[in-house]
Structure 1
Amino acid sequence: MEAELQTLSTLLAEAWTMIRAQAANLLLPSRLTQVAILAGCLALAWGLQRWTSPRMRGWMRTLEGWPKWRLRLLLIVERRLQLIFFVALAWSAVGAMMSVTVFPSRRYILVLIATIATAMLAVALLARLVRNPALRRIVTWSLWAYVILYYLGLTDEAAELLDGLALEFGEFRLTLLAVLKALAVTAVLVALARMIASTSSARIRRNEDISPSMQVLLVKVIQIVLFSAAIFIGLKAVGFDLTGLAVLSGAIGVGLGFGLQKVVSNLVSGVILLLDKSIKPGDVISLGDTFGWINKLGARYVSITTRDGKEYLIPNEDLITGQVVNWSHSNDFVRLDIYFGTAYGADPHLVRRVAIAAASGVSRVLADRPPVCHIVGFGDSSVDYILRFWISDPTGGLTNIRGNVFLALWDAFQENGISIPFPQREVKMLEGSTLTTRAEAAD
């Protein structure tokens, strides 16, 4: 520990000596002139950004119909206008100094700062490839620090300093330099894996020869393989010893056995659902009182959207162990039944013809599978019928089509003089009884 502290103090002393030497050089007239020029470029870039940004945003709001990727690119440029202006002004100042003097020392600081600013701008633009905001911020700041150290010629000193900061447990030694390298390499590999996974997923979803459930399965397998490989390669690239993961995997196994049974069950159930193709995105299913169509198959749950806009997240295990009605599993044809009754005075043959004609005239009722109507019983006050018809679009809803058929039956029965009986009550006064009105009772 004492040796490490002595090494750290030595490195800090050398860095302080270098900073003092550079500060002394800045006091030279030519260096002060360059610093003043850079300060002016920075102030002018700030002013141009304040003037340009509102006008650019107003112009962007008028760009209706533009592709989203173009609008995102314009927004990225708008957020970095100050750095863009500073880079342009700094290189313009370098060009002006080259025309005034031939001595490189008279423009050394200008070229150095312009180069660093250009590299930082390139890093800021390329870092947009990383979609995760936190990871993108880490990548950006790490690369900015490396760029500054690289052009200042301090990479070796910084590496030696970071390598001296370490944690040691027996033969295990973890340095801050190794941690930063691991984060940087892993972040780059994860970003590349995300890009490859997104491109592959888009191509798989556009392939109509692959079933929707198999598409989801392939996408998830590609994502797991790519991200696992990115993390594994990133850790191995910086020299991490992964043999200790065997102990960690054993601990995870014990944890799974006790506390994560439901999670693992849902994960395995999700794989089974994708493999047996019992449900797929777009299917219309009923699970208990929940009726809707499948919006997304997740690793742990299935997203079901109902007709009233509610989104239910059903665990995969419930779909495996429970009774599920899939209205569109093998085909989209669905038969619906409607029960009604008519008075005994109505001709049953006429009632059947009228009911079939009324149902056939409703949109969404299939004509190639015509409706049928049968008598199912003689009730206390009505002849009971069942009307059966077929539809091929259960995603359009079931309650609304039943309502439309009921309304068509009502109109058809009114036109043909067919009455629908309803319970009636008859009050009979017995001899010797008296009727007292409310007014008489009040008196």
Structure 2
Amino acid sequence: MGPDVVSPETLTEVTRDLFMWAEAFLASLLRPWNAYQLLIALAVFLSAHVLAAVFKPRMYDWMRGLEGWPKWRMRALVVVQRRLRMVLFVSLIWLVVGLMRELTWPSRSYLLAIIANLSTAWLFIAFATRLIKNALLRGIVRYGAWIWVTLSITGLSDEAQSLLDSAAITVGETRLSLWLVIQAIVILAALLTGARLISSTTAATIRRNEDISPSMQVLAIKFLQVLLFGAAFFLGLRLVGFDLTGLAVLSGAIGVGLGFGLQKVVSNLVSGIIILLDKSIKPGDVISLGDTFGWINSLGARYVSVVTRDGKEYLIPNEDLITGQVVNWSHSNEFVRLDIYFGTAYSDDPHKVREIAIDAAKSVDRVLSFKAPVCHIVGFGDSSVDYILRFWIRDPTGGLTNIRGNVYLALWDAFHEHGISIPFPQREVKLLEGSQLATKGLSD
């Protein structure tokens, strides 16, 4: 890689043309009518400044009273209010140009027309670049566009392009000039901004469509984003004349890197696509994975965000959800059956215990009545008759531990009311005939 050979004659010629234009422009300002036009433009600017100082606060108060307007309209009004002086200046300068063309020779409004064209182009660029969210990129595009339209309107675009194109380096067979870099930045910024606008608008439309499941909405939005941004990137490279055949070697190198060093990343990406396609989990589902129990907050390209009831957010790799055993409490339906175990004394009637337990479970709010609770004996323990109480809920998002606790509390109250005892382990010690209980040291 080395600098491209540029003839000194070319640089000298371009530089001479720029100085000659600057000298001619400064000389033209000394002409009487050009000086008058500059004074008229200054008077128009001062008028716009005074009018903006008067109307800006009133416009602000009017905007504060607006209700029910869409956000994009309010944002547009904010942009106009902040640049009200420039808007007024453009309107007044064109009015003055129109009047002077009717009242005097066109040459006597030539400089005013240039100022009107420049101010109009600058105002349009200021409004258009507001669509770019990145502040650094917005500044580069805005000032670059201002410089370029200024050179174009003043007739210096060819000289400036020649000067920028002369500053170049060669990379193999590719010639990379400063002019090409500027073109690439502007074109790519415009295309990527357009892709972002189309993507955000389409994503909002997809999210409002209730016929599409949440998982398919996420898949469609991500596919659309990859397609739009990829197309904008490659189209921008083609428009600036970049040879895309060289990307074949780069893609091969990337493939080798993926095969060796990025296996987990690729596995998570593929697993994420599979999850979206088979709809095994979706935002809002309640899942259990190992010791983690929570709600699916979002599906990412590499991980799934799970929020637990204590506010912790777990970022679980997609691969773990594909290869591991996941309990989805709300996959096919919202109904969930819960089991709790308890025991009562042998002296209590088991028929009565079962009835009391079922009635106690029914008294809890979240327990479903049309899926009636059931209670069964599951064994005879050392100190109690063991039971299982099964009941159904339909809102696992409301929590499982709390509903179990409420049912246990209802059982406690019901057993206490009906005299049902909950035993605890007891041991009986017997001394065989002829044995002695050693008490040595106990009385000391």
TM-score > 0.5, shorter chain as reference: yes
Partner of 1:80: 83
Q: Which amino acid aligns with 1:90?
A: I
Change in Cα spacing, 1:77 to 1:310, as seen in structure 2 (3 Å) is farther
Q: What CA deviation, in whole Å up to 9, does each residue of 1:277-328 have, x standing for no partner?
A: 2222222111222211212211111122222333222111221222211112
Conservation of the 8 A alpha-carbon contact between 1:333 and 1:391: yes
Conservation of the 8 A alpha-carbon contact between 2:294 and 2:307: yes
Conservation of the 8 A alpha-carbon contact between 2:329 and 2:396: yes
Conservation of the 8 A alpha-carbon contact between 1:34 and 1:107: yes
Q: What CA deviation, in whole Å up to 9, does each residue of 1:189-244 have, x standing for no partner?
A: 22332333334333433444433323322222222222212211221122211111
Conservation of the 8 A alpha-carbon contact between 2:383 and 2:426: no
Q: Which runs of 5+ in 2 are unaligned?
A: 429-437
Partner of 1:21: 24
Partner of 1:136: 138
Alpha-carbon distance in 1 for matches of 2:8, 2:309: 68
Conservation of the 8 A alpha-carbon contact between 1:373 and 1:385: yes
Alpha-carbon distance in 1 for matches of 2:55, 2:412: 67
Give 2:14's match in structure 1, choosing from 11, 16, 26.
11
Partner of 2:273: 271
Give 1:211's match in structure 2, choosing from 213, 217, 238.
213
Conservation of the 8 A alpha-carbon contact between 1:4 and 1:165: no
Conservation of the 8 A alpha-carbon contact between 2:6 and 2:166: no
Q: Which amino acid aligns with 1:32?
A: A
Give 2:239's match in structure 1, choosing from 233, 237, 240.
237
Alpha-carbon distance in 2 for matches of 1:183, 1:395: 48
1:391 to partner: Cα distance: 1.4
SS at match of 1:3: coil
Q: Which moved more, 1:116-125 or 1:188-197?
A: 188-197
Alpha-carbon distance in 2 for matches of 1:115, 1:165: 30
Change in Cα spacing, 1:83 to 1:308, as seen in structure 2 (3 Å) is farther
Q: Which amino acid aligns with 2:374?
A: V
Alpha-carbon distance in 2 for matches of 1:194, 1:147: 25
Alpha-carbon distance in 1 for matches of 2:199, 2:379: 61
Q: Which amino acid aligns with 1:159?
A: Q
SS at match of 2:199: helix
Partner of 1:115: 117
Structure 2 residue 224 is the aligned partner of structure 1 residue 222:
yes
Change in Cα spacing, 1:362 to 1:5, as seen in structure 2 (3 Å) is farther
Conservation of the 8 A alpha-carbon contact between 2:265 and 2:302: yes
Q: What CA deviation, in whole Å up to 9, does each residue of 1:389-413 have, x standing for no partner?
A: 1112212221222222223223333
Alpha-carbon distance in 1 for matches of 2:167, 2:126: 29
Conservation of the 8 A alpha-carbon contact between 2:382 and 2:425: no
Q: Which amino acid aligns with 1:28?
A: R
In the superposition, the TM-score normalised over structure 2's length comes to 0.87
Partner of 2:342: 340
SS at match of 2:420: coil
Q: What CA deviation, in whole Å up to 9, does each residue of 1:111-147 have, x standing for no partner?
A: 2212221222222223334444444333333332232
Conservation of the 8 A alpha-carbon contact between 2:379 and 2:387: yes
Partner of 2:252: 250
Give 1:261's match in structure 2, choosing from 256, 260, 263.
263
Conservation of the 8 A alpha-carbon contact between 2:272 and 2:303: yes
Q: Which moved more, 1:70-79 or 1:54-63?
A: 54-63
Partner of 1:440: none
Alpha-carbon distance in 2 for matches of 1:362, 1:10: 92
Alpha-carbon distance in 1 for matches of 2:202, 2:364: 44
Alpha-carbon distance in 2 for matches of 1:20, 1:110: 19
Q: Which amino acid aligns with 1:9?
A: T
Conservation of the 8 A alpha-carbon contact between 2:28 and 2:34: yes
Q: Which amino acid aligns with 1:414?
A: H
SS at match of 1:338: strand
Change in Cα spacing, 1:424 to 1:93, as seen in structure 2 (3 Å) is farther
Give 1:35's match in structure 2, choosing from 38, 44, 61.
38
Change in Cα spacing, 1:266 to 1:432, as seen in structure 2 (3 Å) is closer
Alpha-carbon distance in 1 for matches of 2:251, 2:439: 92
Q: Which has the higher contact order (CA 8 A, sep 6+)?
A: 2
Q: Which runs of 5+ in 1 are unaligned?
A: 437-443
Alpha-carbon distance in 1 for matches of 2:385, 2:76: 71
Q: What CA deviation, in whole Å up to 9, does each residue of 1:242-287 have, x standing for no partner?
A: 1111221122223223332222121111122222322222221112
Listed as ranges, the matches of 1:53-202 within 5 Å are 53=56, 56-57=59-60, 59-95=62-98, 97-98=100-101, 101-202=103-204
Change in Cα spacing, 1:231 to 1:387, as seen in structure 2 (3 Å) is same
Q: Which amino acid aligns with 1:321?
A: T
SS at match of 2:341: strand
**Matched residue count:** 432
Conservation of the 8 A alpha-carbon contact between 2:285 and 2:296: yes
Partner of 1:409: 411
Q: Which amino acid aligns with 2:384?
A: S
In the superposition, the TM-score normalised over structure 1's length comes to 0.87
